[in-house]
Amino acid sequence: MPHATVPSPGLQALILCGPGVSLNTFTSNPKDLPKALIPIANRPMVWYPLDWCHRMGINDITLVTPPESSEAVAAALKTHPALTGLRFKPDVLAPEELLQTTGTGELLRLPEVQKAITSDFILLPCDLISELDGSSILQQWMTLNPPSTSGKKLRWKGGLSVFYPTQGLEGVSTKKDETDFLATVPLPKSAVPPPHGSLRPHIEEIVTFMPTDTLNDKLEEDKGHLRVRQSLLNRHGRVKMRMKHRDAHVYIFPQWVKEFVAKNERFDSVSEDVLGWWAKAGWQEGLAEKLGLDEVLGEKKAEDDEMNGDLADDEEIDPSSLSSTKAAKPVQQAATTASFASRVGGTSAPTPKDRIATPPLLAYVQPAPSPSSPLQPLIRRVDTTAQLASISLYLARQPADHPLAHEHNVHPTASIGLQSRISQEDSLVGHNVTMGIRCNVKESVIGANCEIGSNVRLTKCVLMEGVQVGDGVVMTGCIIGRRARIQGVKAAPVEPAAAAQGAGGEGGESAAAAGDKKGKKKKGGAADDGEEERTRLTDCEVAPNYVVEAGTEAKGEKLMAFDTEGVVDEDMHDGEEDEQGVEEED
């Protein structure tokens, strides 16, 4: 992948670093470790969108983060090896009023953010992992937009969002993946069949969009029926509805969206409200006016007219009206406008401008993997722990020529003890890891500066930075937070009963902290039954800095300390992670 040789697409990027509600095991302390810095395959989460932007030539990047996390983010940008390796420096913007609970729509209305947006922009979450090259998405956006300046007259740049299928990817997809409800109509066919690998066949126009939660509410309201407006069907013949796709929260927006959002105080979230209303405004009669869309677009027009007032007499022609592959718009549209105006009664008001056509809101809907095309580039949002684990392991599996692959699967500075086996093709070991003898590591990611004792067995585990794992620990499918300690055999005799079981909404789990320690180092070989005193963790999440007592055996639990920080509940999600309000009780 050629880095940085791409011409700038003239966009700026806004990366929203949210709180990570459903990663609450690891993000309970946003000052210290905000979601954006949670490692995915040994790189901070925010590296992925940064790198993605960089690869498509965007160097004007702003990280928007709540003030309390800004220091940590800024510090990480200066010190973390993965982030300092980037050849550009993103700005960190921490608006005062930005709380962890602020909605994304509100976020866009904040004066600081409004000021920061000076051109067309792309809005990204910090948890985006995309193998798909951003420039190919951008290319479609550019292709399908009217040429920029000709837009002065009638047409305005549209937006583009990205949806990915949640299903069908082995090892990554789970049943619990959040989905959105999306209704689209096909675009007019391109003049010639697009070249191989082009995304054009999958670009569609959004007509309705809502998160599944909202959909469920609506369904409940209407007793299991989904009401569809007649005007939608009048306007579009072929509406396709999808429920198995999810909004990747990648939005390419033209600049006017900034004003559009500012005008509509009610817009709380970008995905649900901005996207949802914009999509509807495209076909619902009069909605565009209600949303002030005509003013947003019309205002600009007036400005522009003033700007080249001296040239006002020249009719700037729209190149696309000359294009031989485009047909002129039906004249009837003017007729409908006229009738609309007369019905309203105000003959003078909107008539000269006629109704401004709502710019199209497009979507790249990634096709679900099918037998004919089993491999689609991965696009995912990592906002649950399950995703965190599966994506980390997925990235660890990738061969070296993968754009997101690491240079070394086992970092050269790691010191591995004798007879320890690491399956290199599906594991990652960060720098300065020390590992004792006779360890066995399979399909795991081990973060930087971890200290791993002897006879440890790790399978499908994700260890963040600085984790200490004692001797003889056996872990399967675990995610261990930063600087946590998993004590092996022979540890302090303290045994705070069920220390950690305050974990959120799951309720009801009580640790089987049957911690009997024995000062005996066992050989790793016979790990099956005889030694119940070994620490065994299966499918657990361990919070940062938490100490797991020796001999703990746990399965499917969240091991975290009682929250002393008080309320860490937040809703300022950079997307629609408004799943069940997970809360910690104190």
Shortest Cβ 55–other proteins spacing (Å) = 10
Closer by beta carbon to other proteins, 348 or else 373: 373
Residue closer to other proteins by CB (options 6, 219) is 6
Cα separation, 478 vs 467, whole angstroms = 12
For residue 473, give every residue at least 6 positions away whose Cβ sits within 8 Å of its Cβ, in sequence order, or none. 453, 456, 457, 486, 487, 488, 534, 535, 536, 537
CB 42 within 8 A of CB 91: no
Q: Based on CB atoms, which residue is closest to other proteins, 321 or 413?
A: 321
Least separation, in Å, of the C-beta of 235 and other proteins?
Answer: 17
Q: Which is nearer to other proteins, 10 or 111 (CB)?
A: 10
Please choose, from the candidates 372, 365, 329, 332, the residue with its C-alpha nearest in 3D space to the C-alpha of residue 187: 365
Rounded Cα–Cα distance for residues 243 and 311 (Å) = 50
User: To the nearest whole angstrom, how small is the minimum distance from the Cβ of residue 57 to other proteins?
Assistant: 7
User: Which residues of this protein are in contact with other proteins, per CB under 8 A?
Assistant: 2, 4-11, 56-57, 135-136, 138-139, 142-145, 147-150, 190-198, 200-201, 311, 314-317, 319-332, 370, 372-375
| Count of helices and strands (H, E) across the chain | 16, 31
* Strand ranges, E, within 67-171: 91-93, 121-125, 128-130, 159-165
Alpha-carbon distance 137 to 484, whole Å?
40
Q: Rounded to an integer, what distance in angstroms lies between the CA atom of residue 409 and that of residue 84?
A: 20
- Give me the amino acid identity at 513: A
Provide the 3-class DSSP secondary structure of residue 217: helix
CB of 184 to other proteins, least distance (A): 15
Q: Which is nearer to other proteins, 191 or 497 (by Cβ)?
A: 191
Q: State the minimum distance, in angstroms, from the CB of residue 187 to other proteins.
A: 11
How far apart CA 171 and CA 79 sit, in angstroms, is 33
**Rounded to the nearest whole angstrom, what is the least distance from the CB of residue 327 to other proteins in the complex?**
4
196 or 238, CB closer to other proteins? 196
Distance CA 5, CA 282 (A): 37
In angstroms, the CA 493 to CA 371 distance is 56
DSSP, residue by residue, 504-540: TTT--------------PPPSS--SSS-TTS-EEES-
For other proteins, the closer of residues 150 and 434 by Cβ is: 150
Question: Please, what is the minimum distance in Å from the beta carbon of residue 185 to other proteins?
Answer: 16
Angle at the Cα of 375 (from 190 to 191), degrees rounded to 5? Answer: 5
Q: How far is CA 22 from the centre of its chain?
A: 13
For other proteins, the closer of residues 146 and 436 by Cβ is 146
CB of 180 to other proteins, least distance (A): 23
Work out how close the CB of 305 gets to other proteins at its nearest, in angstroms, rounded to a whole number.
14
Task: Please report how close the Cβ of residue 250 comes to other proteins at its closest, in angstroms.
Answer: 17
**Smallest distance from other proteins to CB 122, Å:** 13
- For other proteins, which is the closer residue by CB, 252 or 467? 252
Q: What is the phi-psi region of residue 271: left when phi exceeds 0, alpha when psi lies from -120 to 50, beta otherwise?
A: alpha
Contact by Cβ (8 Å): 254, 359: yes
How far is the first Cα of the chain from the last one, in angstroms, to the nearest whole number? 48
Answer yes or no: are the C-beta atoms of 165 and 182 closer than 8 Å.
no
CB nearer to other proteins: pick between 329 and 520: 329
Q: How far is the CB of 43 from other proteins (least distance, A)?
A: 24
**Taking Cα atoms as reference points, which of 436, 452, 469, 445 lies closest to residue 537?**
469
Q: Which is nearer to other proteins, 143 or 347 (CB)?
A: 143
Nearer Cβ to other proteins, position 331 or 494?
331
> Which residues is 553 bridged to in the sheet?
536
Distance CA 7, CA 145 (A): 18
